[in-house]
């Protein structure tokens, strides 16, 4: 995943599993809400899917941040 501008479903599933199927912002669990992978530094600003630049967020928290 280092330096990638896109993410595969398998990589997405691994990240969500590492977050224990929980939003890292509001702590809601999936499937209560859908979970997304959020790049802290946005893609248009050079952000990639590298460990320290991603967070697992529920759909609501993700919308609030983007």
pLDDT digits (tens, 9 = 90+) for 4-55: 678 899 999 999 999 999 999 999 887 767 899 999 888 888 888 888 899 9
Q: Does any domain span residue 18? A: yes
> Residues 34, 48, 50, CA angle at the centre, nearest 5°?
80
Q: Does any domain span residue 3? A: no
Q: Does any domain span residue 2? A: no
pLDDT score of 1? 45
- Alpha-carbon gap, residue 19 to 27, rounded angstroms: 10
Q: Is 5 exposed, middle or buried (0-12, 13-18, 19+ CB in 10 A)?
A: exposed
pLDDT score of 50? 84
- Domain span at 36: 9-65
Q: Does any domain span residue 61? A: yes
Q: Does any domain span residue 1? A: no
Domains of the chain: total: 1
Of all helices (H) and strands (E), which one includes residue 57? strand 54-58
Asked if pLDDT for residue 2 goes beyond 60, the answer is no
């Amino acid at each position: 995943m280092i330096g990638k501008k896109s993410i595969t479903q398998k990589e997405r599933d691994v990240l969500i599993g590492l977050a224990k199927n929980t939003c890292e912002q509001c702590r809601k669990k999936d499937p209560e809400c859908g979970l997304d992978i959020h790049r802290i530094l946005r893609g248009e600003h050079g952000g990639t899917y590298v460990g320290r630049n991603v967070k697992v967020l529920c759909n609501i928290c993700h919308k609030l941040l983007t």
